[in-house]
Amino acid sequence: MNKENFKEIIEQSDIGNHKEYLLQYSRPAIDILKKQEADLRLGCSRFGGAPDLPIGSEWPTYGTKPYRFIGQINFAEIPPTEAGLPAKGLFSLFAADILPDDDSDPDLEPFEDGYIHGIYIPDPANLETILPPYSETGGAVVVEFSPTIDIPYDEYQLKDSPFTEEESEIYTELRESLHKSPDYLLGYPSHYSLGYNPTPEGEWVSLLTIDSDDDLEWCWHDGDKLMIFIEAARLKNLDFSSLKADAG
């Protein structure tokens, strides 16, 4: 979906009188679709399993504990859009999450600094799959991408909402229709339980929103969503070294 498709959808909806408002707050997003039958390849985009990192890399840690691998995104596999993402490079994400074989309490919560660790490889030419230093990894699945348009998730993200109660229900249905998956890049963060806007104050943007998944052994905040954020200037400069997160 592109912005022209989005305009048509608005015009055909029962809140078409708010078209300019909706266009003003629309943002590009990239749905992430799991391809259960696809084979894992070196350097391909995936959730779960083991990462592909430069040959000789060491597993990232926080304190004395290993981070848990979330997944990797090969930006070259994303269809060209005006979303502001890199055109190439491999981005790997790790979380200070409780490992499947670890019954201790977590050292970090999702909203704390250091919970998310990102590695960006501009030229992923010399990679090897690095096996995790923990015994259980959960499943692994190849992912592909579908560009779309997103609008704010709830009243905490909407500014000066013009919608009546009835129009708000139509708005929610409209937003849901824009996504093929609960997992996506950019756009606005979405969640199940928060009573506030999770985006950090300042020039931060939503980088990735992912749902809990039993097959991947992901359970964010008791089965909710994990939302990851990056400063707009850092994204522009391809600097993924400082990320924030929340879950709910």
Q: 157-182 pLDDT, tens per residue?
A: 998 899 999 999 999 999 999 999 99
Angle at 152 between CA 149 and CA 158, to 5 degrees: 145
Tell me what pLDDT residue 63 has. Answer: 87
Q: Tokens 């779309």 sit at which residue?
A: 148
**pLDDT by residue (tens digit) across 50-92?**
999 999 999 999 988 999 999 999 999 999 877 789 999 999 9
Which runs of E-coded beta strand occur in 124-203?
Answer: 127-129, 140-150, 184-186
CA 108 to chain centre: 19
Low-confidence stretches of the chain (pLDDT < 50) are none
Angle at 194 between CA 162 and CA 137, to 5 degrees: 130
CA-nearest of 67, 49, 42, 44 to 243 is 67
For residue 118, what are the β-bridge partners?
93
Instruction: State the residue range of the domain holding 134.
Output: 3-247
Rg (alpha carbons) of the chain, rounded to whole number: 18
The tokens for 30 are 């990239």
**CATH number of residue 8's parent domain:** 2.30.320.10
Nearest-angstrom CA–CA distance, 228 and 93: 10
Q: Say if pTM beats, i.e. exceeds, 0.85.
A: yes
CA-nearest of 68, 70, 86 to 78 is 86
CA atoms within 13 A on the CB side of 109: 7
Tell me what pLDDT residue 135 has. Answer: 74
Number of domains the chain is built from = 1
DSSP 52-67: EEETTPPPPEETTEEP
